[in-house]
Amino acid sequence: MTSALSARSTEILAALTRLREADAPTHGGHVLSYVYDSGRAELDQLAAEAIRIMQPVNGLDPTTFPSVAAMERDLVRFTRRMLHGDQEVVGTVTSGGTESCLLAVKTARDAWRSAGGSGTPRLLAPVTVHAAFSKAAQYFGLELDLVPVDTSGVLEPAQLTERFGPDVALVVVSAPAYPHASLDPVADVAAAAAAAGIACHVDACIGGFVLPWWVAEDGGALPLWDFAVDGVTSMSADLHKFGYAPKGASVLLHRGRDRQRAQYFATRRWPGYPVVNATMLGSKSAGALAAAWAIVERLGEDGFAELAASCQRSTDAVTAAVRTIEGLLVVGSPVGPLLAVATDDMVPEDRRVDPHHWADAVREHGWLLQLQPGLVQADGTRLPHATHLTITPVTESVLPDLLFALTSAADEVRGVPAALAGSIVPSEITDVLASLGNRADPLSSQEASAVLAGLGIGAGGSVLPGRMAPLLAVLEALPAQLTERLLVELLAGLVDP
């Protein structure tokens, strides 16, 4: 209790509160990514109390702390039912979407090996699959085979299934994919995968706790996307997204106990205690698990349905509003409470709105959208750069102000050409590339920070500029590998004491 704290502890908490003042606002609906605000203060309070109760517990060992197993069992049961899994579907609670995706890949790789697979396994997915799968391929030694989608983010199933082969350990589709909210053709891909004996993961990290209550654009049901499809062998669904739980909780489900056991790590071959871990961490907090458990208990299916309906009303309103803004378009046919916005190239150049300039202008109005760079795919086609919005239940309480900001911001930047429009590469970039020559060895930390400074990023004072469009354009113009190296330097610099 705060009243029992010493003066020093009170000061420390005050300092912490001051640090938080520099953060983006986590409540109130002004940040349209990263945070998933139910708009219900009671849920936050419930989660905080749940975390406090579980604070000293070690989630490492559910035999010593049976509360951990009890909460996890309840969450797996709820999620399995929600995603139409039968008694053969089992699972675990992980620390988040990335861990669920990593473990889905590790499990599939090991199951593939047990079934006789040898050599380098391949991970096959549309290019819109979450970056966590690229991370998994890197961590676990799989070759990542990314299939191009059309410029609306839509996958033609045959483009993926024609690449099936005995080396494919896992095919991944998304419900929906994060960049453009495209709902991948789960039924087609999973059926073909089952026929070929290939495991199929549906990444429902973002959609899992909201699509079960989502109504399709035509007013009907969505195409099947979960365990109702036979060939689906595993699924991920994040509690800390549309489960409205604080960060640190996601569910990973597998069809079949035998398959799921490949997820575990166990050893008694060291002099310490026998280690059995379902997930990647050892000792871990049970706080996020408890908070997620409490929120799911509180909401139940009806509560989730109500919150999903609110998300749907707001998403429909935002989508309709963006569609009336001259110069912008909504990419593809988004499914779920998220969408990407790009330039409408069908209008004359002086009427076009660049989505990154737009995002910067929207930010001036006090709203934070997420900038996505363009991407050249393996077949040479380019997915346009876009701006991403995730809509949450809180959006409904600020909807008129948000729509006003989106519309006014477009008026402010209409006709302003995209940064680096027409592939005019600015001298900073040509200088950087010239200075690096054809170097294949990685840049040293000193070299990388010098390049960043040359680009006017990160050196002294604020890390990121107020306007992001020019920065994104520069990052997009540089080779991907160099960009990645520079981003590492930028982020490592943030915590360098």
336 sits in the region (left: phi over 0; alpha: psi -120 to 50; else beta) called left
Q: Which residues bind ligand PLP (CB under 6 A)?
A: 96-98, 101, 130, 132, 174, 178, 203, 205-206, 238
- Chain CA centroid to CA 440, Å: 31
For ligand PLP, give the closer residue by CB, 132 or 474: 132
Give Cα separations from 173 to 16, 124, 160, 183, 352 (angstroms): 41, 9, 10, 8, 33
Residue 436 · residue 444 · CB < 8 Å: no
254 sits in the region (left: phi over 0; alpha: psi -120 to 50; else beta) called beta
Backbone angles phi, psi at 11, to 5 degrees: -60, -40
For ligand PLP, give the closer residue by CB, 144 or 321: 144
- Count of other CB atoms within 10 angstroms of residue 32: 23
Q: How far is the CB of 284 from ligand PLP (least distance, A)?
A: 15
Structure tokens at 3: 């009243």
In Å, the largest CA–CA distance within the chain is 72
For ligand PLP, give the closer residue by CB, 117 or 185: 185
Q: How far is the CB of 335 from ligand PLP (least distance, A)?
A: 12
Q: How far is the CB of 178 from ligand PLP (least distance, A)?
A: 4
For ligand PLP, give the closer residue by CB, 369 or 478: 369
For ligand PLP, give the closer residue by CB, 12 or 491: 491
Q: How far is the CB of 33 from ligand PLP (least distance, A)?
A: 10
For ligand PLP, give the closer residue by CB, 206 or 210: 206
Q: How far is the CB of 174 from ligand PLP (least distance, A)?
A: 5
For ligand PLP, give the closer residue by CB, 30 or 180: 180
Please provide the DSSP assignment of 26-72 as one string.
SSSS-B-SS----S-HHHHHHHHHHHHHHTT-BTT-TTT-HHHHHHH
Q: How far is the CB of 236 from ligand PLP (least distance, A)?
A: 7
Backbone angles phi, psi at 123, to 5 degrees: -110, 120
Distance separating alpha carbons of residues 362 and 10, to the nearest angstrom: 38
| Position closest to ligand PLP via CB | 97
Q: How far is the CB of 264 from ligand PLP (least distance, A)?
A: 21
Distance separating alpha carbons of residues 208 and 220, to the nearest angstrom: 18
For ligand PLP, give the closer residue by CB, 100 or 314: 100
Q: How far is the CB of 290 from ligand PLP (least distance, A)?
A: 18
In three state form, how does the secondary structure of 351-370 look?
A: HCCCHHHHHHHHHHCCCECE
DSSP state of 438: T
Q: How far is the CB of 277 from ligand PLP (least distance, A)?
A: 18
For ligand PLP, give the closer residue by CB, 82 or 101: 101
Residue tagged 């929207």 (tokens): 362
DSSP state of 179: T
| DSSP bridge partners of 382 | 376
